[in-house]
Structure 1
């Protein structure tokens, strides 16, 4: 398989250099051809808006940008023109957008501790809480990403996806934080199976995880 149409997952913590590496990788693989940049960040305040503008100015003029805070697959493929490669940055924000859209930001007490290890239907919310279906949220997110990967392969489209590795820090002190951490961890695991290569970026240095991975013996 040509590197041009590889499907890649780029992981890293905050300010790890993952987005910078993803853009360099996209530029290297696209050459003089354009790249469709799929942005999931929503400008909630002036600082966010400034960050978006700085990112846009730093990208090549031949790259087109489409915003996809929610409908990732449709935003990507409806807007695809002659590009042979798309860069999605990032799945972390896209996941949080969908969770918040569901109303989980007001439902901390509706999440049960047992849900975090194995997603199940939460209990009926107390008055004033928002009810949500934790199992459905995770299933919908993974299904959408499976659709993106499948469609990209059918179109012979190169795809680079950026996501955060959020499981290496302190355990979040609140239920919603733990739910989000666990959900994103499972999403990243599923994508790691579906993609051709997975890079972990630490201090600006990318490490090819699939090249380093060791297969366990059936007897182990």
Structure 2
């Protein structure tokens, strides 16, 4: 009789142990699934939210491809300014901020011209990312430009070469202004680089040297 009780107890104990093991096996897949889902959600979140450094880099992309210096050649039809505020050979302080290293630099005036200057948004001819609110393109740097200046919203083709992919690119006029525009040489305030015959700076972006 004692043996029968012992065997029954052993059988009951084994059944309890097996049931416990079976319960652990059933919960494991759910736990793994939750872990995998959490990892996927974290990956999606990281992909959707660029870091602050990446955001700053995208904002600076506009003029990263800009040719600061130029040969100094200008369109044949571009008219010299008759009485510029800053004549060729004089100096002026720049307050332009459309390029790094420009604001506060002393510029030597290499050329002064009366024209219409435009701020434009364009898609580079090579299909690169759109460039918005680029400063500046002058009337004579637009394909088949007539005598009448363009207005905000007009669509044009650029012939300027200030930046990669600009020549031949389709653009939209964001703003237009009749003014004196200057070609300048200066020392980059951030890099110390000598910039020669930079195009363009408007008269509003210059002030007398004190």
Sort the TM-score into its range (normalised by shorter chain): under 0.3
TM-score between both structures, scaled by the size of structure 2? 0.22
Asked which structure has the greater RCO (Cα within 8 Å, sep 6+), the reply is: 1
> Structure 1 or 2: larger helix share?
1
